A and B are shown apart, each in its own frame.
Chain A
Amino acid sequence: AQSVTQLGSHVSVSEGALVLLRCNYSSSVPPYLFWYVQYPNQGLQLLLKYTSAATLVKGINGFEAEFKKSETSFHLTKPSAHMRDAAEYFCAVSTTGGGNKLTFGTGTQLKVEL
């Protein structure tokens, strides 16, 4: 079985500041890892994914994440926050052969302040 833990249900940053959203995973087999974003009253949208290729993954809207096996982490970062980044972010895991059946974390609400 696999799981993800997102540390911090709410994160607040100033516009232009670094965004860091934390995700740790647990998996008995090599994982596939994902970050999804959910804007208010919308469905989820894929930001980026790690599927055992490059450990540093670049996604949409300037976000990136680094897979660190030794730390079982897949933290999401963005160098400079923008107001439009305010949303809820979900880390998710599946496994090889998992057939797109994702296990999501509980989410981190990102607030961006002026």
Chain B
Amino acid sequence: QLVLTQSPSASASLGASVKLTCTLSSGHSSYAIAWHQQQPEKGPRYLMKLNSDGSHSKGDGIPDRFSGSSSGAERYLTISSLQSEDEADYYCQTWGTDIRVFGGGTKLTVL
């Protein structure tokens, strides 16, 4: 079964960097994922598609502060130079021919 696992929460200081993790279920380590950001009271926003080799392509207007990387079944989102507006929920998403799957989301607090 295709499942994505995320830690429920993370925190980091203003101006620092943070690395969020999304883990693919056993047998699915070759899958690409996407990262989405959801600021409070807003719809989600697509950040990037992240492949198993770590290559990634970002959505329109996504700042260079957002980057992605991969290792085995783990997919990472790194946000550098944290700003207050980065405080949001971050969801990873993957897909098969007939299904779309979301991780449970990570709530990022900027201290």
Q: Are the chains A and B members of one assembly?
A: no
